[in-house]
């Protein structure tokens, strides 16, 4: 399926102001271009059919997040009356118009992939999603009994009339809008039936083979919910609301309480930002929904198929390995192969060498989790300090290790970021559980998000104290560590340990910003030191920069890269999602190339390389993307990698990424992402798996 054409305005230099605006791509449009690349993965017939279904589910989930955050932010700008222009000179209204046009095209592509490729191939493989009219009489009777026993009791129809105001429609909920005709009153009435989220979206008719969508099952039994009424029309609809939580933290005495209050307020009063509805919806229904939800045509998407493709995850969980890619089982890092049992402890290995970890190729559980578990159980460990941005709940090995350490009298400090988007509630729960177990919990910082992924372990060794550190690009989340590509460093470097000690003291106490000997730390020094490294390359005849991040949208960094290109520096950027920089523009960015890679793993690592092969490059890894929020509004860290063997591994990762031609795209000057093709097909992720197996 070809990518919907999403074309930012071409570069022009007819005036200084116009030239400035045309130096950048729009952030929101760039993000939607990433979603188009996800859709291309869903259309790639080289992938097994359930993998393609998975990418449709990812597209749907990503779009939900985009509307909850990015579109909600643009609408809030308009409502505030403080609307400004984007980096490329568009008003919020202009961007919303453009978003609506692009997303409509993406929906068309998604439904075409779904109906013409994924569903037919699933049927060929004996997996069918059907309507009730395609079932036998016996199957319909069984579903009727199932509905009456398991579904009917949990449904709550809500009517709208003078005695019943329009109900609150919760965020991302699937609903049925029903128009009812009352013969006695001779008028139409509106009712809403929410599809309970506790019900599987796919109701099983034959295990693993035949399914009916739950909304269609409810639809077919609406007469049981509205006895005596004539059903004039029915239509599924789905609402998306603003999910930005913005409590008044400046006035808050307790950050946790402020976040709890913000979550409650958001659940009760967040404005609607998108309405998804069936294309054949009755005019009276769409008019009523738009009026009651205060939406307009720009916010409404009439769709020709089932709403919300995230239900395809239920299909992906089927035990059909023949329809999926072969699952990857992470291997223990070679440097840690002798850890455990009667062999070396992880601390002994770290004293002898730094260890570079590459997840999910190398196991998170046998490295990072094992590091924390050994620290918890080692009687010589005095202190454990670490950050938590996203978690998978309190029933994890890391949680148990921290609570076990606290129970034995160790000083355990966890900085929990309560403002981690979409994980606010789970992080509050995690933090409260840790507190009850005796862990000292610090609730982030007012005005900043603690996004750094760092751990410090302090150990008594004879008459001296030694510090052991972990610094990574990914969260301490054992589930995402199996599907997100990330790198991390385990080190016993005293200098890095001192830097982390100073950083944790600054985050948990009251002190001036410390000076760091090796770490680059945002918001205090990271931007300036990155710019200094860019300047260094600009001043040398063989300047070379390679950067791998998730997003690049910071105007100052973009301008510095433009200047470096004009000074002769060769620059390769591996940007997974948003890129505001225009590559290959004559006189501006001739020497800059931008590519994006997708695959079975989400490319999530942040790697920075400065220097030519002849001089010997400098490498840094860490948590920071190149966006204004990362450099000025978050606590981020980058750490230099000094060991020659680890440098060689990082260089290998970057080189493989730059050679990938299987699921890679190149960003062109006109703003289009062009697929990179080559023979033979070369997948960086596949090669990295093969090397780990060797």
The answer to whether residue 177 is domain-embedded is yes
What is the SS3 assignment for 457?
strand
Cα–Cα distance, 590 to 674 (Å, whole number):
18
Using alpha carbons, list the distances in angstroms from residue 295 to 241, 290, 396, 489. 11, 5, 42, 49
Q: What is the pLDDT of residue 212?
A: 97
Same domain, 544 and 632: yes
pLDDT of residue 164: 73
Within a domain: 340: no
Q: Do the beta carbons of residue 359 and residue 473 sit within 8 Å?
A: no
- Give the whole-number percent of the chain exceeding pLDDT 90: 72
Domain identity same for 370 and 411: yes
Q: Which residues, 6 or more positions from 670, have their beta carbon under 8 angstroms from its beta carbon?
A: 7, 8, 10
CB distance 134 to 332 below 8 Å? no
Given a contact cutoff of 8 angstroms between Cβ atoms, the answer to whether 187 and 230 are in contact is no
Task: Return the DSSP state at 157.
Answer: E
283-332 per-position pLDDT tens digit: 889 999 999 999 988 999 999 999 999 999 999 999 999 999 999 999 99
Distance CA 372, CA 351 (A): 16
Confidence of residue 391 (pLDDT cuts 50, 70, 90): low
Orientation angle between helical segments 684-693 and 644-659, nearest 10 degrees: 140
The rounded distance, in Å, linking the Cα atoms of 155 and 153 is 6
Tokens of 447: 């005005």
| pLDDT at residue 70 is higher than 90 | yes
Return the minimum-mean-pLDDT range out of 32-41, 258-267, 268-277.
258-267
Res 448 pLDDT > 90: no
Question: Closest Cα partner for 363 from 328, 388, 389?
Answer: 328
pLDDT at site 440: 80
Same domain? 3 vs 75: yes
Query: Domain ends where: 450, 476, 508?
Result: 508
**Side-chain half-sphere CA neighbours of 305 within 13 A:** 14
The pLDDT of residue 251 is above 60: no
pTM for the model stands at 0.91
Containing 658, the helix (H) or strand (E) segment is helix 644-659
Domains contained in the chain, number:
4
Same domain flag for 114 and 211: no
Band (pLDDT 50/70/90 cuts) for residue 450 is: confident
pLDDT of residue 261 exceeding 50: no
Tokens of 191: 């009712």
pLDDT at 263: 42
Could you report how far apart the first and last alpha carbons of the chain are, in Å?
36
Task: Judge whether 561 and 535 are in contact, CB under 8 Å.
Answer: no
At residue 508 the predicted structure's pLDDT band, cuts being 50, 70 and 90, is confident
Average pLDDT for residues 499-512, to the nearest whole number? 86
552, two tokens: 């690049």
Give the catalytic positions in this structure.
451
- Quickly tell me which residue has 């001296």 as its tokens: 464
Domain that holds residue 225: 130-244+274-295
Strands 411-416 and 381-388: parallel
* 97's tokens: 């118009």
pLDDT at 81 over 90: no
* Mean pLDDT for the stretch of residues 257-276: 64
CA distance 234 to 278: 10
> Is residue 251 assigned to a domain?
no
**97-135, pLDDT tens digit by residue?**
999 999 999 999 999 999 999 999 999 999 999 999 999
pLDDT at 627: 95
3-class DSSP string for 588-657: CCCCEEEEEECCCCEECCCEEEECCCCCCCEEEEECCCECHHHHHCEEEEEEEECCHHHHHHHHHHHHHH
Rounded Cα gap, residues 461 and 40, in angstroms: 55
Give the residue from 689, 686, 618 showing the smallest Cα distance to 651: 618
Percent of the chain exceeding pLDDT 70 equals: 89
pLDDT per residue as tens digits for the range 354-378: 999 999 999 999 999 999 999 999 9
Residue with more model confidence, 656 or 245? 656
Q: Say yes or no to pLDDT of 9 above 50.
A: no
Residue 543 in contact with residue 567, Cβ under 8 Å? yes
> 423: which 2 tokens?
């994980």
SS3 283: helix
Considering the domain architecture, whether residues 538 and 571 belong to the same structural domain is answered as yes
Residue 311 is given by DSSP the state: G
Do 376 and 468 share a domain, yes or no? yes
- Given 460, 482, 508, the domain boundary residue is 508
**Which tops the pLDDT comparison, 222 or 259?**
222
Distance CA 552, CA 90 (A): 19
Does residue 252 surpass a pLDDT of 50?
A: no
CATH number of the domain that residue 382 is part of: 3.30.870.10
Residue 333 lies in a domain: no
- List the CATH number of the domain containing 12: 1.20.58.310
Asked which of 452, 474, 508 is the last residue of a domain, the reply is: 508
Q: Looking at the structure, do residues 562 and 675 belong to the same domain, yes or no?
A: yes
Summarised one tens digit per residue, pLDDT across range 545-581 is 999 999 999 999 999 999 999 999 999 999 999 999 9
The span from the CA of 600 to the CA of 308, in Å, is 22
Asked whether the predicted pLDDT for residue 247 surpasses 60, the reply is no
Q: What is the mean pLDDT of residues 246-260?
A: 46
The secondary structure element, H or E, covering residue 163 is: none
If you ran DSSP here, which 8-state letter would residue 197 be given?
A: T
Phi/psi at 600 (nearest 5 deg)? -65, -25
Q: Identify whether residues 84 and 137 lie together within a single domain.
A: no
Tell me the CATH number at 155: 3.30.1840.10
Residues 118 and 139 grouped into a single domain = no
Q: Average the pLDDT over each of 136-140, 246-250, 572-576, 614-618 and give the range with the smallest value.
A: 246-250
Same-domain check for residues 625 and 662: yes
Q: Average the pLDDT over 161-168 and give the result.
A: 78
pLDDT above 60 (res 385): yes
678 vs 5, which has greater pLDDT? 678
Residues 369 and 497 in one domain: yes
Domain-located, residue 221: yes
Alpha-carbon gap, residue 563 to 572, rounded angstroms? 14
In a domain, 653, yes or no: yes
Cβ atoms within 10 A of the Cβ of 678, count?
11
Asked if residue 359 and residue 494 are part of one domain, the reply reads yes
* Domain annotation covers residue 249: no
Q: Which two tokens stand for residue 496?
A: 């890095």
* Residue 61: inside a domain: yes
Candidates 382, 448, 460; CA nearest to 417 is: 448
């Amino acid at each position: 399926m070809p990518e919907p054409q999403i074309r930012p305005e071409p570069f022009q230099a007819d005036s200084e102001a116009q030239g400035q605006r045309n130096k950048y791509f729009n952030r929101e449009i760039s993000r939607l271009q990433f979603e188009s690349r996800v859709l291309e993965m869903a259309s790639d017939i080289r992938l097994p059919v359930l993998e393609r279904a998975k990418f449709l589910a990812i597209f749907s989930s990503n779009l939900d997040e985009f509307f909850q955050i990015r579109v909600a932010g643009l609408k809030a700008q308009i409502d505030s009356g403080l609307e400004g222009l984007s980096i490329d000179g568009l008003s919020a209204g202009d961007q919303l118009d453009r978003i609506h046009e692009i997303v409509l095209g993406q929906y068309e592509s998604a439904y075409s992939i779904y109906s013409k490729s994924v569903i037919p191939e699933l049927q060929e493989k004996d997996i069918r999603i059907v309507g009730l009219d395609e079932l036998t009489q016996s199957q319909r009777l069984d579903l009727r009994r199932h509905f009456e026993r398991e579904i009917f009791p949990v449904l709550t129809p809500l009517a709208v009339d003078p005695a019943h105001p329009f109900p609150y429609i919760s965020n991302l909920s699937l609903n049925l809008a029903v128009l009812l005709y009352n013969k006695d009153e001779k008028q139409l009435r509106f009712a809403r039936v929410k599809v309970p989220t506790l019900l599987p979206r796919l109701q099983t008719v034959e295990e693993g083979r035949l399914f009916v969508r739950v909304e269609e099952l409810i639809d077919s039994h609406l007469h049981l919910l509205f006895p005596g009424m004539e059903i004039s029309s029915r239509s599924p609809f789905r609402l998306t609301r603003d999910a930005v939580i913005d409590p008044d933290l400046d006035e808050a005495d307790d950050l946790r309480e402020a976040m709890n209050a913000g979550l409650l307020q958001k659940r009760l009063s967040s404005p609607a930002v998108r309405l998804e509805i069936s294309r054949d919806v009755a005019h009276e229904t769409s008019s009523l929904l738009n009026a009651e939800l205060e939406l307009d045509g720009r916010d409404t998407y009439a769709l020709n198929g089932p709403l919300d493709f995230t239900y395809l995850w239920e299909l992906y969980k089927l035990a059909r390995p023949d329809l999926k890619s072969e699952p990857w089982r992470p291997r223990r890092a070679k440097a840690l192969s002798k850890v455990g049992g009667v062999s070396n402890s992880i601390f002994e290995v770290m004293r002898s060498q730094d260890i570079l970890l590459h997840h999910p190729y190398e196991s998170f559980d046998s490295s990072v989790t094992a590091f924390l578990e050994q620290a918890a159980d080692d009687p010589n460990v005095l202190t454990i300090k670490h950050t938590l941005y996203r978690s998978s709940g309190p029933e994890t090995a890391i949680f148990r290790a921290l609570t076990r350490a606290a129970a034995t009298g160790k000083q355990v400090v966890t900085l929990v970021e309560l403002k981690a988007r979409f994980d606010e509630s789970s992080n509050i729960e995690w933090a409260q559980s840790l507190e009850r177990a005796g862990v000292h919990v610090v609730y982030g910082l007012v005005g900043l998000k603690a996004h750094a992924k760092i751990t410090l372990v302090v150990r008594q060794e004879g008459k001296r104290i030694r510090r052991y550190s972990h610094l990574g690009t990914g969260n301490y989340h054992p589930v995402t560590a199996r599907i997100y590509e990330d790198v991390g460093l385990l080190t016993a470097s005293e200098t890095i340990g001192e830097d982390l000690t100073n950083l944790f003291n600054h985050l948990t106490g009251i002190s001036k910003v410390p000076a760091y000997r090796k770490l680059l730390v945002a918001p205090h020094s990271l931007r300036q030191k990155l710019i200094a490294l860019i300047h260094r390359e600009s001043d040398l005849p063989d300047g070379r920069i390679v950067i791998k991040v998730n997003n690049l949208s910071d105007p100052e960094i973009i301008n510095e890269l433009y200047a470096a290109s004009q000074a002769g520096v060769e620059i390769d950027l591996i940007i997974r999602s948003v890129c505001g920089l225009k590559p290959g523009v004559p006189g501006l960015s001739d020497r800059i190339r931008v590519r994006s890679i997708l695959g079975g793993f989400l490319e999530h690592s942040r790697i920075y390389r400065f220097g030519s092969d002849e001089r010997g490059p400098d490498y840094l890894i860490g948590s920071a993307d190149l966006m204004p929020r990362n450099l000025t509004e978050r606590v981020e860290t980058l750490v230099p990698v000094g060991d020659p063997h680890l440098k060689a591994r990082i260089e290998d990762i970057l080189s493989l990424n730059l050679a990938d031609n299987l699921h890679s795209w190149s960003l062109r000057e006109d703003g289009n992402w062009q697929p990179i093709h080559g023979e033979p097909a070369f997948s960086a992720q596949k090669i990295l798996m093969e090397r780990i197996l060797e």
